[in-house]
Amino acid sequence: MIQVGVFGAGGRMGATVCEAVASDPDMNLVAAVDPYGVGASAGGVVAVADRQAVVDAGADVVVDFTIAEAARDNLVWLAEQRVHAVVGTTGFTDADLERFQAAFDAAERACIIAPNFAISAVLMMRFAELAAPYFETAEVIELHHDAKIDAPSGTARLTVEKMAAASDAWAPDPTEHEMLSGVRGAEGPAGIRVHAVRMKGMVAHHEVILGAEGQTLTIRQDSTDRSSFMPGVLAAVKAAPDHTGLIVGLDALLDI
């Protein structure tokens, strides 16, 4: 039985994680932490402010769905406590990842960071990576709910990185004049353009459009409910005790 704690338990994603963990016969939800959601109840556990609660409750793994500013400190602290981490928070820098790698290597514990826990999103990234060498142009569009504070999404960034690594034969952007500043989106690795949409009514959606002479290919993934992320979260929690160090991306655990 894996003992699990949740950081960010007062938020919608955190509460959904609590319910999913509590419903899994191989897991036991032992603590929920959220300084901004004290008293919120999910999965039969009431959220408290002090993160020490996860250690006191004997958590083997902590799932962090907070924000980057909080998670930067949380993750290093979890490593010091020798607790595995499964992380859905995004917005980390390369320097952050280097710190996490060093901290969890030293602790001989795992830190699994997934920009997206939906299996469909993991497959979307893999399909885009496979398609990249066969096309000359590509653009990535990510669409999220209006409460997401970082842009572009970690999923979009990782998708572009994988596509750029798969091919270096991308055509240059022909745009010479932007009539509205920023209309062409942000320039990612290999010059692949990334566009971010924030809108009420959405959850998480990603679209990759690839083009070559006379043809286009569109790969789209939609998460219409936060429950779509739970199978991936639970898979990462179950895998964490068997790993050490930093793992980025759910694909490494699913052999996709």
Contact 115, 153 (CB under 8 A): yes
Domain co-membership, 98 together with 146: no
| E-state strands within the chain | 2-7, 27-33, 41-42, 45-46, 61-64, 84-87, 110-113, 137-144, 186-187, 193-198, 204-212, 215-223, 245-248
Let me know: does 217 contact 135? Beta carbons within 8 Å: yes
- The pTM (predicted TM-score) of the whole model is 0.82
105 in the same domain as 28: yes
User: Are both 16 and 85 inside the same structural domain?
Assistant: yes
Per-residue confidence (pLDDT) for residue 208, from 0 to 100: 98
Q: Is 202 within a domain?
A: yes
99 and 140 in one domain? no
Task: Report if residue 256 sits inside a domain.
Answer: no
Where residue 232 sits, what CATH number does that domain have? Answer: 3.40.50.720
179 shares a domain with 247: no
Please check whether residues 60 and 137 belong to one and the same domain: no
Paired tokens of 170: 């991308």
Domain count for the chain: 2
Q: Is residue 80 part of a domain?
A: yes
What per-residue confidence (pLDDT) applies to 149? 85
State pLDDT tens for residues 171-219: 999 999 999 999 999 999 999 999 999 999 999 999 999 999 999 999 9
pLDDT at residue number 132: 98
Question: Which residues of the chain carry a pLDDT beneath 50?
Answer: none
Residues facing residue 84 across a β-bridge? 61
We report the CATH number of the domain holding residue 208 as 3.30.360.10
Domain limits for position 25: 2-117+226-251
- Residues marked active site are found at 144, 148
